Amino acid sequence: MKSITANLQLRNLTKNYGASLAPAVDSVSLSIASGELVSLLGPSGCGKTTTLRMIAGLVLQDSGDITINGESIANRPVHERNIGMVFQNYALFPHMTIHDNVAFGLRMRSFKAAERDRRVSEALEIVQLGSFAQRTPAELSGGQQQRVALARALVIEPSVLLLDEPLGALDKNLREDMQVELRRIQKSLGITTVIVTHDQEEALTLSDRVVVMKGGKLEQVGTPRDVYCRPESRFVAEFIGSSNFLEGTVQAHDNKHAVVEAGAFGLLKVDRPLAEGARISVALRPEDIELLPLETASSSEPYNCVRCSISEVLYKGFVSHIYAKTAEGQLIKVSVQNKVGHSEMTKYSPGQTYLAHWPIESNIVLK
């Protein structure tokens, strides 16, 4: 199976479902390189699925353009776009065998029977279902149906592969296996891929770049590391992972740092210069915070620390989520990693007082 070098461009793509409603997709522009896997991530109603369906041609855009290798496909009907799509519930043809399901796209392209069979077997081998060709979809498990749907979409050698919440219906372990599988196939074929998901973990695991959407607009576009470690807005910091949010006013700065007065959280030092007097928000990941016993903590820590007392400890297996309160009653979330054999979990219990402390780089300044 070959893949086509295809870069996908969205330009000011807009879709309104009703004049009285806010636009479902609002002037979205995005450039996806050939062979790149980009995920559209966001809560339901953020426009990610509508964007995907516009690329597929299942929804017609109100304005804007979609191009593949510079050629506009925005006004082509769905069956002339040469796009491979995997649907949320796989949408296999229930009245056809697995072989016929995968062969369908080739049949529509008038391939000769021999060539068709050869390609179908090849596609089924890629998704490791070679021996299932004569079964029907109902005889397959969810994970297997998922792989058939993938083979069916890939066998036509589409210019772009679109996946709509492809793993949403699978249980957790299977989902992780399929993520690895999907990534392997996508990379080995080098096929330009757009995947819609509301699962942040899935987006971070699979993607070359993550596109976070909100209210029909792009909120942030970046590598998984970018969007997790450098979220630009409170929405992204909250939607991907979990965060503490600290508000403050810049007091002083030098070339590299700024000091922020953050009320109950004392003074924060951030690793970028900011104008004095500016009101800023800082996101702080719970796993970046360390809880130091009061007796061992140097009492003279000037920045990035706050004294707090634990109000609740939630055991989650490999981590524990600890909810603590500052003297002023502000909530602070801390995650500690658990190790079997260590008693980290029993170490922390409600009522204890610790000094929460975090490094300068952990303060993420939001726009």
Partner 1 sequence: MKPHRQPLVYLLMTLPGVLFLLVAFIAPVVVMLSSSFLTQTSQGIDLPITFSNYWRVIDTPLYGHVIWITLRISLYTTLLALFVGFPIAMVIARGGPFYSRLAIIIVVAPLVVSVVIRTYGWSLLLANNKSGVLNWTLAHLGFGPIATHLMYTETAVVLGSLHVFLPMMVLPLSSAIARVNPAVEEAAGTLGANGWRLLWYIMLPLCKPGILAGASVVFSLTAASFVTPAILGGSYALMLGNLVEQQILAVYDWPFGSALAVVMVLLIYGVNGLAGWAFDSKHLPRASRGLALRRAPRLRGSLS
Residues at the site binding partner 1, with contacts judged by CB under 8 A: 56-58, 77-85, 87-89, 91-97, 99-100, 103-105, 108-109, 113, 134-139, 149, 152-153, 156, 162
Residue 91 or 229 having the CB closest to partner 1: 91
3-state secondary structure the chain: CCCCCCCEEEEEEEECCCCCCCCCEEEEEEEECCCCEEEEECCCCCCHHHHHHHHHCCCCCCEEEEEECCEECCCCCHHHCCEEEECCCCCCCCCCCHHHHHHHHHHHCCCCHHHHHHHHHHHHHHCCCHHHCCCCHHHCCHHHHHHHHHHHHHCCCCCEEEEECCCCCCCHHHHHHHHHHHHHHHHHHCCEEEEEECCHHHHHHHCCEEEEEECCEEEEEECHHHHHHCCCCHHHHHHCCCCEEEEEEEEEECCCCEEEECHHHCEEEECCCCCCCCEEEEEECHHHCEEEECCCCCCCCCCCEEEEEEEEEEECCCEEEEEEEECCCCEEEEEEECCCCCCHHHHCCCCCEEEEECCHHHCEECC
Residue 93 or 315 having the CB closest to partner 1: 93
**Least Cβ distance, residue 129 to partner 1 (angstroms):** 15
**Least Cβ distance, residue 86 to partner 1 (angstroms):** 9
Residue 153 or 246 having the CB closest to partner 1: 153
**Least Cβ distance, residue 281 to partner 1 (angstroms):** 41
**Least Cβ distance, residue 190 to partner 1 (angstroms):** 20
Residue 136 or 326 having the CB closest to partner 1: 136
**Least Cβ distance, residue 140 to partner 1 (angstroms):** 12
Residue 58 or 319 having the CB closest to partner 1: 58
